Each structure stands twice: as C-alpha cells, then as structure tokens.
Amino acid sequence: MYKSHLKGPKKFGRSVSSFRTPTRTGGKPRRGGGFSRGSGKKKFSGAGRGRRGDRIDVSRFIKKGEHREEKPYAHKHTFSDFPFNPQLHKNITKAGYVYPRPIQDQSIHAILEGKDVFGMANTGTGKTAAFLLPLIEKIAKTKGKNKRETVLIMAPTRELALQIESDFKNLAFGFGMFSVACVGGLPLGKQIREIKMGVSFVIGTPGRLRDLINQKVLDLSNCHSVVLDEADRMLDMGFRDDMLYIIGKTPKERQTLFFSATLSPEVKKITSEYLKDPVFISVISGETAKNIDQDVVRFKTKEEKLTKLHEVLKKDGSDKVLIFREMKHSVDTLAKELAHAGFKVGGIHGDKRSRERIRILDSFKQDKINILIATDVAARGLDIPDVTHVINFDVPQTYEIYVHRIGRTGRSGKKGTALTFIPA
C-alpha cells in the first residue's frame, strides 16, 4: 500500500541538436513484461540483455531511504594539477570546474598516458568530462604534426550523443576542432557534409554511425581513440552487432575507453576482447541511492490508478516529477489527461519532433513545467537537476532499468522518492 511519506522537497562552433531516439540498424526488439500467474507473491517478468523471463520481486521496489548526506570525496588532484594546454585550462575554469569528480580524478591521468580504461559510473557522475578533457588534449598535440587523428564516441541515445557534443564544444573552444553528431532524426546530408569538411570528434549512435560507414562516408582508419559511453545500455537496446562492427573498422592499435553502469557477463566479455590491460575504475556506490524512499502504489482499475497519481502529484514536496511509461502513445495519453486536470506537464518520446522535445525538456529543466512524462529515452544521458520524484507508472522491464530510472532523483545528497504503480 502506498504510504504518505512524500515530504521531501552555451554552445560554441558548429552544432546540431535534436531529441529523438537513435536510428537502429539490426537492433533486437525489446519485449514487454507483465505479471506471472500463480499463487504467492506477485512478481514481474523482465526482459533485456539475457534476462528474458526473469522476475522482479515487488519487495525490491520498497525501501526506506536513509537520507544521509554524501560524504565529501577526498580529491587527489585539482584540475590545475593536470598537464593540460593553457587554453584547455581556460575552458575548464570558464566551465566552473575546480575539483574533479571521482571518475575524473581517477581516470584522467590514465587516459592521458594512453591506457585503456574501463570505468563503472552512472549518468551524472562527470564521466563525459573525464574522457573529453584528455582526448581534447591528445588531439591538440597531434594537430600540428600533420597527423589527422579522429576520436570516435559512441552513445546509446540521441540525447546523450548531443549532450556530449555540447560539452565538447564548450571544452574545445578556441582549438579549431570540429565535431559532428551522427544521430538519427537529423538531416543525413548535413552530417555527410560536415564529415567531408573534416572533423576531429565523431559522436553518434551505433545505427547512424553504421549507416555512414556502409555509405563509405565515414572512414575510421585514422581513429586511434574510441569511447563507448554507457556500453551496457547499448547492449540493452540491441546494438551489440553494430558496436562490434564499428569497432572493427578502427585500427587495432588504438586507445579504447569503456564506460558502463553495470558489469554484466556480456559487458565483461566485450571488455576482455577489445581492451588491452585496462585500468579498472569504479565509482558505483551501490544498487540504488541510499537517500531515495522507494515504495509501491497499488491500484485495482485504470480510474483508480489515475486518481492515485493525482493524489501523489498534489502532495507537498512533489515539486519536480519524472514519470516513466513504456509506450510512446501512453506518454501522450497521460500528458493530455494530466494537462486537462490542470497540471503543468509535458511528454517526450521518439516520435516527437526534435524542436518540440528540446522545448519540453528545457521547460522541465527551467521549472516552467514540473511534470515530465517520458519513455526510457530519458532514463539515461539526460542531466536533469533537482528531480524530487520518479514515478514508474508502468513497471520497468528489468530491475536494472528500474535502478537507472530512479537514479534521476536523490542526487547530490538530496532526498528523493521513487514510486512504482502495481496492480492490486
């Protein structure tokens, strides 16, 4: 039963932007979950990454948060300690960085030394700067030596790829480096033109990257630095074959950086095959944040489900709420129902136009609306501050997806609440 404990509270250079899901080539369809029938506790069937038929015990959705403040991380370095180009130090200062986040503190020196790195880190832990800063430094050093090196960064979603490119433009300002975002939903012709003009950083999703390789537009023979960001998520989404095909088009002598929130058998296998003597770094503190209250909301009918959602949204402390739904059409349906009831709400999914998705997401970030409904495209890669509640209006397919969803709240030591709606 639901418990009433809800009291917690620049772009530079050439750019392209959109918020749609990536083009998928050869991807495997994701299968939905549901209740298992029989006596005893109700459990949910799961799917994804070798977990078809798994069951999620409802008790895993219920946990009282400890509401502990984060212990300050003992930094080994400041950003001024890293041997970066003076211009890069200026960009770091302009970005407001002073002390490195744990993943940055532990990985930047290893990347600068040319070592392969496997980093376990969730979204929002600063891993983008952890690999961008040393790779910008690396390319800056090779530019004047008549060597044209390319950096390839693969990400699971369009949102994450575009966010990485935005960060790159800020951090690489003044270096004369260019990037291209190779993602679906944006004009292919523009991406082809930018690649032909010459870019130092290719950032994209596996489906579109493979399309460009097959069209003989994208040549990775000079790509000696490869980053797979959120590798486990790419595997979840059925991108395994694309990932391996694309890596196979890069030189064998390369620096490879993997970042993942989990170390599944599949991730471990790919890591052992494609990384050479990697430095292993983990900044994962646990399955779920200790300061997130987790609970379930039981309902008998669709009407009761919607009524109980209204009750949650009207409670004090429900200041910024992210609601997850499994299907695109269900996002639109719920958004219309809540808007009709007077809530300030928006919805994003892969079928919405790019500009509309950007507008809605910015409205949520700037508190013009306080409720965002989304498919799992928003579970990773989007840095949305101060989310007070995550609501699983539809049960996630796997427990891993659940962990990633609720990780949108309870960040930076703040209290968060996660609720999962369960049929009674």
Tokens standing for residue 393: 């209006």
**35 DSSP assignment:** B
> Domains of the chain, with CATH numbers?
43-68+290-423 (3.40.50.300), 79-282 (3.40.50.300)
Which among 37-51, 311-325, 370-384 has the top mean pLDDT?
311-325
| pLDDT over 80 (residue 143) | no
Do strands 55-57 and 43-45 pair parallel, antiparallel, or not at all (unpaired)?
Answer: antiparallel
pLDDT tens profile 100-109: 999 999 999 9
Cβ atoms of 128 and 167 within 8 Å: the answer is yes
**What pLDDT, on the 0 to 100 scale, is given for residue 424?**
84
How many CA atoms does the CB half-sphere of 309 hold within 13 Å?
26
Confidence of residue 408 (pLDDT cuts 50, 70, 90): confident
Listed range (13-17, 217-221, 281-285) with the worst mean pLDDT:
13-17
> 15 versus 300: which is more confidently predicted?
300
Q: Is the pLDDT of residue 332 over 90?
A: yes
pLDDT value for 131? 97
β-pairing, 150-154 vs 201-204, is parallel
Tokens encoding 163 = 């966010």
The percent of residues above 90 in pLDDT, for the chain, comes to: 53
Of 403, 394, 414, 293, nearest to 35 (Cα)? Answer: 394
Eight-class DSSP state of 387: B
* pLDDT (tens digit per residue) in 61-94: 888 766 555 566 677 888 989 999 999 999 999 9
The pLDDT of 396-407, averaged and rounded, is 83
Q: Above 50 in pLDDT, residue 36?
A: no
* pLDDT given for residue 389 in this prediction: 95
pLDDT of the residue at 381: 58
Can you tell me the distance from the alpha carbon of 312 to that of 315, in angstroms, rounded to the nearest whole number? 5
* Mean pLDDT confidence for 196-211: 95
Q: Which residue has the higher pLDDT, 253 or 385?
A: 253
pLDDT band at 31 (very low <50, low <70, confident <90, very high): very low
Instruction: Give the mean pLDDT of the chain.
Output: 82
Residues 411, 412, 416, 421, Cα dihedral to 10°: 10
Of 51-55, 326-330, 372-376, the least confident: 51-55
pLDDT of amino acid 233:
83
Note the pLDDT of residue 44.
Answer: 42
* Alpha-carbon span 395 to 47, nearest angstrom: 12
Cross-strand bridge partners of residue 182: 204
Contacts of the segment 216-223: beta carbons below 8 A, 24+ positions apart: 217/192, 218/182, 220/150, 220/152, 220/246, 220/249, 220/250, 221/249, 221/250, 221/251, 222/148, 222/149, 222/150, 222/251, 223/149, 223/150, 223/151, 223/152, 223/250, 223/251, 223/254
Q: Which two tokens stand for residue 182?
A: 């190779």
Distance CA 62, CA 71 (A): 25
Cβ proximity of 276 and 116 under 8 Å: yes
Banded model confidence at residue 289, pLDDT cuts 50, 70, 90: low
